[in-house]
Chain A
Amino acid sequence: MITTDAGAEDDATEFRAFFERHYAELARLAHLLTGETDAADDVAADAMLALWNRWDRVRAADHPAAYARGVVANLVRTRIRGTVRERRRIAAFWDRRPEHTEDPDVPAVVDVRTALRALPFRKRACVVLRHAFDLSERDTALALGVSVGTVKSQTAKGMAELQRLLGDRAATELAAGRR
């Protein structure tokens, strides 16, 4: 009995240390994937709780941090899957652009976070993990449960799409400045 209690206490202490090391990164990842501030913190908390509920498996994993990132990605994907919100947001994104183009007082027509939300989930996740969090292709693949080849291709396509979207922004800003 005493051994079990001591073991549970050790688990809790270990988990707390893991929480303090990783909560900020997980919340930031959730923020870039969801685009929502409050939801990001809730997703990070839910991911931490999911990790606690399978703590034995997490601590035994070769890459607990990658596992944790994967849990966040899955929670976000579940959150947006099956809802029309994502599609509506993309539609709203495209619909908003001409209005902003006509208003030279609005400085940034499309910022990088808005542009990210226009990407399909897997491309977004690859771009975010690779370039916002500087993870290697291998670590990104580990977190998302996909092959390194998929990470390479999805990241390249995602970056090209972002550049195109933000290139349009630069052109729009330039046009607004000239007016």
Chain B
Amino acid sequence: MDEAQLRRELREAALAHRPDHARILARVERGMAEPAPAGRRGRPPRPWTGRRWTAAVAVTAAVAGVVGLGGLAATPLDDRPAGPATTLPAPG
């Protein structure tokens, strides 16, 4: 095939497509009615660093509290340590 014929076929191939005006316009108008893409992206995700630290501290405090309370509960309040042993008689 010579180049002139190929060019002719390319031009014909381009013209062979009949775009659907209504379909294209409707899609564009739908898009124009929506907010611009920059607005659509919405709020950027919040930085989590501060919250993560807060959460870690809260969890640590809670665990410490539970362990502390558990320890207190396991120790009877009236079970005082025994007083000093009876004085031993002095030797001989």
Contact = CB atoms under 8 A, between A and B. Distances in A.
B21 A23 contact: yes
Contact of A27 (B11, B24, B32, B37): B24
B13 A41 contact: no
Contacts of B19: 23-24, 27-28, 31, 40-41, 44
Contacts of B11: 131-132, 134
Contacts, number: 87
A93 interface: no
A112 B27 contact: no
Interface in B17-47: 17, 19-21, 23-25, 27-28, 31-32, 36-37
A163 B14 contact: no
A52 B28 contact: yes
A interface, over-half SS: helix
A166 interface: yes
A130 B21 CA distance: 25
Interface residues of B, number: 24
A37 interface: yes
B77 interface: no
Contacts of B20: 41
A27 B36 CA distance: 23
Interface in A25-51: 27-29, 31-32, 37, 40-42, 44-46, 48-49
Interface of B: 1, 3, 6-7, 9-15, 17, 19-21, 23-25, 27-28, 31-32, 36-37
